[in-house]
Structure 1
Amino acid sequence: MPLKYTTLSIENVDLQDRTYLFSYPKRGELLKNSIKSVGLLQPPILFLEKNYPKLKIICGEGRIIACKDLGIYEIPAFIGENYSSKELFLLSLESNLFRTLNIVEKAEVVGKALNFFSIEEVINLLSKLNLNPSYYWIEYLSAIYSLDEPFKTLIVEEKLNPKVAVGLVDLSSKEREDFLEILKKLNLTFSEQKEVLEKLLDYKKRKDLPSLLPEKLKEILKEEDFNKRKTEFFKILKELYYSFYFHKWIKISPLVEKFRKKNIYLNFPPYFEKKEMEIQFKNVSFEDFQEKLEFIEKNKEEIKKIWEKL
């Protein structure tokens, strides 16, 4: 069935329905300057669904929004009737492949395609998104599709690691709110996001906590100074997560500091994973060497105390 070309009022278009749309974010703002300069060169494609009061957008949502914002209410358009949902979805997809889709848009494609196609059919569509056809991408992109809007926006703005975002899917809405607050307050790198989420989830499980964010961490997020807020957050997180380590460190740190003042450094495996200790020092002369050895010998009982506490 061919498309019918006509001129219509934007009032007759449903601007809320996004059944066949996956642009993210909506592209109206990006197109305003072009339409303002040369007009609407490429008419959108709309669908007239039986017993539905308004026309549904198949492609060209951004163009329609831009026209409305510019005060243009009469626009040219192509209208289709008697198309199946699959045909309309494929038409929308093909009309957008001229540009590179971001990861959230690819997630929107997969999430919405699953409403019309079997999983096997959706896998076959992945090549159109420049992805290898596999179940992995279906699961990965479906997870992103299911996220709340603020997280999708952060992904598009490259402020949230998509792989970390997928880990949020199984959290409660309150836990996702807590993690969103962390992202807003700490400006974490992608690796920091991964570290924080993994530690919080593990700590919650170990302590059987009712929520993702312990009270101490909630409180430090209220700190006004950004640098102090971030530094203290990670300090408290490590104290909570590695409580065994910090308990030991509190006991031995005064002794370690005593040696450090003599430029003798006592080093340990990360978080005392092994009962090991390395004594390290540099010398500027043989006399300096002798002096340090004498200090170590004189304080060997202190070293023994440290060793016993490991």
Structure 2
Amino acid sequence: MQVSLNDIDLSSEKHDRFLFSYGRDLNVTMDSIRKVGLINPVILKKSRGSDEAYTIVCGYQRIRACQKLGLKSIEAKIIEGLNDEEILLLILHDNLSSRGFNEIEKAIVIKKFLELGYSYDRLMSEITPLLEIPPNKNVLDKYLALLRLDSEIKDPVVRNELELEKAFLLMPLDDVERDVVCSVLFRESGTNVNEAKETIRNLLDLKQIKQKGITELLSSREISDILSDNKSNKRQKGERVYKLIKSMRSPTISKKEDEFDKSCKELGLDNDVRINHSRYFEGDEIRITIKASNEEKLRVNIEKLLSNIKNGTFKKIFSIFK
């Protein structure tokens, strides 16, 4: 049936408890309606105590788009007799069948069902499989924490400009720190998830050790020089920022790592041979991994290793542990 847009109550207290949408581009919806019309009717329910006003169940974005386009009415389905749980399930499946959810909207879905009284066990059994979220309470708590982040972090997640795992890493920081860290590690440089995890941990340690704020630590001349270097790409800048913060936190270990990497390069081995040291150089052992697809490649790599042993080249590597 056609319903006048003037008869639909758009006040937030009426529709917020049923609203899952976040970060949707209204212009995209308007363009679609302008070109092909409204394909899926919105779903409304009668407002309590009113014979004329309707509350939005599904289709808030479509209704706003129709208003912007100057339409007077909209095709709608009217539902009656459903409780809040049944309405939320209806909205969930309606959206899954039409457009799906971005990561922030998934967090909103989780929050809505928890507020409705769902236990974590029930949520993981019935709802998270539909959202393609692992059935893990810690993961769900991370999603809920996403909703407490400001729009400067949430919006890039929606636009797929910021990986979800990287957004999770920003949660221990305050609002100002998040924006600065996000800018330095992810916007201006290309720090990967593992590097970012260690860098943020090191920054939090340095904050306590040096009694300096993270914003001040990342405003150093060294960081500025790295980010303004036009000869380096984002990934290279990310690696350099990671190494710099690591050297600030653990200068002795960082110095040993530099010496270790330099000594390994002097061995002249190819990429099929990898030499690793123990974490934080604890102990005095190295691990050598050889990748070979046939006997000849294996023989060549082993001969190179034996040649370096005979020449005493490995002595320099083992001396780093002392």
Is 1:156 the counterpart of 2:154? The answer is: no
Residue equivalent to 1:14: 10
Specify whether residues 73 and 195 from structure 1 end up closer, same or farther in structure 2 by C-alpha distance, changes over 3 A only. Answer: farther
Q: CA deviation at 1:110?
A: 0.2
Superposition deviation, residue 178 in structure 1:
2.5
* 1:272-291 → structure 2 map (5 Å cutoff): 272-274=281-283
The 1:178/1:6 distance shift into structure 2, 3 A limit, reads same
Q: Compared with structure 1, are the counterparts of its residues 153 and 49 closer, same or farther at alpha carbon in structure 2 (3 Å cutoff)?
A: same
One-letter amino acid matched to 2:149: L
Counterpart residue number, 2:293: none
AA of the residue aligned to 1:106: K
Counterparts of 1:190 and 1:236, CA distance in 2: 16
Secondary structure at 1:97 match in 2: helix
2:228 to 215, 218, 224: 224
The Cα shift of 1:109 comes to 0.5
Q: Residue 125 in 1 paired to residue 127 in 2?
A: yes
Alignment partner of 1:72 is 2:71 = yes
Q: 1:47 touches 1:55 (CA, 8 Å); kept in 2?
A: yes
Contact 2:157-2:164 at 8 Å conserved across structures: yes
User: Any idea what SS the aligned residue of 2:91 has?
Assistant: helix
SS at match of 1:71: coil
| Corresponding residue for residue 104 of structure 1 | 104
Note closer, same or farther for the CA distance 1:214–1:272 as it changes in structure 2 (3 Å cut): farther
Question: Partner letter of residue 29 of structure 1?
Answer: N
In structure 2, the gaps of 5 or more residues are 269-274, 287-306
Structure 1 counterpart SS, 2:116: coil
Structural RMSD (CA): 4.4
Q: Which range moved further: 20-29 or 50-59?
A: 50-59
Out of 164, 171, 174, the residue aligned to residue 173 of structure 2 is 171
Map of 2:84 onto structure 1: 85
* 1:240 CA displacement: 0.8
Q: What is the CA deviation profile of residues 180-227 of structure 1, one whole-angstrom value per residue up to 9, with x for unaligned ones?
A: 22222224334443343333334445x274533452555524853453
- 2:246 aligned to which of 234, 238, 244: 238
2:17 partner letter: T
Match in the other structure for 1:113:
113
Gap change, CA 1:165 and 1:6, over 3 Å in 2? same
SS of residue matched to 1:108 = helix
On the 8 A contact 1:10/1:64 being kept in 2, the answer is no
Deviation track 1:37-89 (CA, whole Å, cap 9, x = no partner) reads: 22113221234444799754321123223323433343233345665332322
Q: Distance in 2 between matches of 1:200 and 1:47?
A: 51
